[in-house]
Amino acid sequence: MAESIDIQELNILIRQQSGFISDLTAGMDKVIVGQKHLVDSLLISLLSDGHILLEGVPGLAKTLAIKTLSQLISSKYSRIQFTPDLLPADVVGTMIYSQKEEKFQVKQGPVFANFILADEINRAPAKVQSALLEAMQEHQVTIGDNSFKLPEPFLVMATQNPIEQEGTYQLPEAQVDRFMLKVVINYPTLDEEKLIIRQNLAGNMPAVTPVCSADDIMNARSIVGKVYIDEKIEQYIADIVFATRYPERYGLPELKDMITYGGSPRASINLAKAARAYAFIKNRGYVVPEDVRAVAHDVLRHRIGLSYEAEASNISSEEMVSRIINKVEVP
């Protein structure tokens, strides 16, 4: 009985605290037409302290969505355009010799901000992508002999174009695994497309004003951390991730030769965190299996290694996640 009272209190607390979520969504809707899933995914990564990778063809408002979100929260924002000749020092910063002081001084790079837009991240060579690794995982950067803490909240939102494979460098697995979510963005519907044309021809893009502060985000994160996950839900999450490693144990022997490696423990952690944030957005103080199913594709699609057989059979990781979710028993 005590548990149910706690959850009721938590539901009330969430309703009080999640007011700014509807403000953020309304602010995004003013600028972005449609793309509801993209907006939800950005909010999930923001609330659960995870980084997000967006993939889609050029012109689907990936950059605009990220820029709008950072404008709605009064915080520091940096955009880094990744190019083949970019150097790690251009991202994290470097030591500069000051003639006046007669010593080296640290010049901090654009990574010292709350929101980082890493635009076209797969256009830069691996050494630059790796420079972001420490920042993303440890929330700190080493320049010379000194380590510097990055501001909180710290969120890397990266975009990549799938079609222009020329002049791109594939992200290493270790780097991709650092992203909590990988969201694939699709074209807008016909009605949305007409609305986009109408808005752009009118030429009056709405002004974006901040609706919340970085502190609001930090407070919300502490409440997201209190969202209740039952043991059955934990079991469900573990089963889904284990099914990506040992599909034959879950009645999917046909996937065994299709998968070279499955989700790491980081996949389980992120699946639980994302499900919590999704429950928070839906104003609930507890996680239900639907929350896990809603975020499973975005959390798992970049964590499954496909074998040559899978590629030859034209089976995507997307399809594998769908098969696993449909097969694993729901509590």
- Provide the residue ranges of all domains of the chain, joining segments of one domain with +: 35-198+214-220, 227-327
Crossing angle for the helix pair 36-47 and 265-281, to the nearest 10 degrees: 110
Asked whether residue 188 carries a pLDDT value surpassing 50, the answer given is yes
Asked whether residue 210 carries a pLDDT value surpassing 50, the answer given is yes
Question: What is the pLDDT at residue 163?
Answer: 58
Contacts of residue 283, defined as CB under 8 A and 6 or more positions apart, other chains included, come to: 11, 14, 15, 18
Question: What is the pLDDT at residue 298?
Answer: 93
CB atoms within 10 A of CB 191: 10
Asked whether residue 128 carries a pLDDT value surpassing 50, the answer given is yes
**The CATH number of the domain covering residues in 227-327:** 1.10.8.80
Asked whether residue 114 carries a pLDDT value surpassing 80, the answer given is yes
CATH of 35-198+214-220, one of 3.30.565.10, 3.30.1370.140, 3.40.50.1100, 3.40.50.300: 3.40.50.300
DSSP string, 155-214: EEEEEE-SS--TT--PPPHHHHHHEEEEEE--PPPHHHHHHHHHHHHHT-PPPP---EEH
Question: What is the pLDDT at residue 330?
Answer: 85
CB 189 within 8 A of CB 147: no
**Closest C-alpha among 95, 157, 85, 88 to residue 127:** 88
Asked whether residue 122 carries a pLDDT value surpassing 80, the answer given is yes
Q: Which sign, positive or negative, has the C-alpha torsion 23, 27, 29, 32?
A: negative
* Tokens of residue 18, six digits: 């999640």
Question: What is the pLDDT at residue 2?
Answer: 42
